[in-house]
Chains A and B, each alone.
Chain A
Amino acid sequence: DVKVTQSSRYLVKRTGEKVFLECVQDMDHENMFWYRQDPGLGLRLIYFSYDVKMKEKGDIPEGYSVSREKKERFSLILESASTNQTSMYLCASRGGLGTDTQYFGPGTRLTVL
């Protein structure tokens, strides 16, 4: 069965802290994605990666960075957390060319105080 896991379901951090959100997929997928989900806005793409060490900015990359050192793992980094980054963060993965279905993790609800 397809599986995307995220390191934490709930996280509380303070303003200015560096925050790491981890995502792991076991499907050998080339493509991985980070979204944030906010009420009334749906999901918005932060960053995506189409291969190890490769990354592309999504629609709202400001204040975030990513790391993909291994194929199965995609990390989202908040260099200096701010209260407006309080949100639900969802990771997804997708296979290579010819596939279009994204598989999502359960999400991490991050609160920045």
Chain B
Amino acid sequence: GDSVTQMEGPVTLSEEAFLTINCTYTATGYPSLFWYVQYPGEGLQLLLKATKADDKGSNKGFEATYRKETTSFHLEKGSVQVSDSAVYFCALTPGDSWGKLQFGAGTQVVVTP
């Protein structure tokens, strides 16, 4: 079945450091790919998405590119802030589903001043 694998955390960084969170997937068909973020004490919110190969999603300084050849959707940010401390989830929606999301395990990111 479809699955998402993302790097384990926690990832601890200093403010202004470069952040990469790896995400790879297995899926049949042509899934859409997502990054969701969960700030402390809150529900998940969509950070960015890409719906086809080579698409780049971007938001709030974060970027991720849909790479079909490597089945990856790595999240990057060039200069993190303390406010980026959160749990980040990579997810996919199979192209022929009811829109169900398949999530990775989540990666906790801690940014220190």
Contacts and interface: CB of A to CB of B under 8 A. Distances in A.
Given A100-B99, A107-B43, A42 B104 contact: yes
Interface stretch (A11-19, A43-51, A61-69, A73-81): A43-51
A25 interface: no
B69 interface: no
Interface residues of B, number: 22
Contacts of A50: 98
A105 B42 CA distance: 8
A71 interface: no
Contact of B93 (A41, A42, A44, A100): A100
B42 A106 contact: yes
B43 A43 contact: no
A48 B98 CA distance: 9
Give 5 closest A-B pairs by Cβ, nearest first: A104-B43, A42-B103, A104-B44, A43-B103, A42-B105
Interface of A: 4, 31, 33, 40-45, 48, 50, 56, 58, 90, 92, 94, 99-107
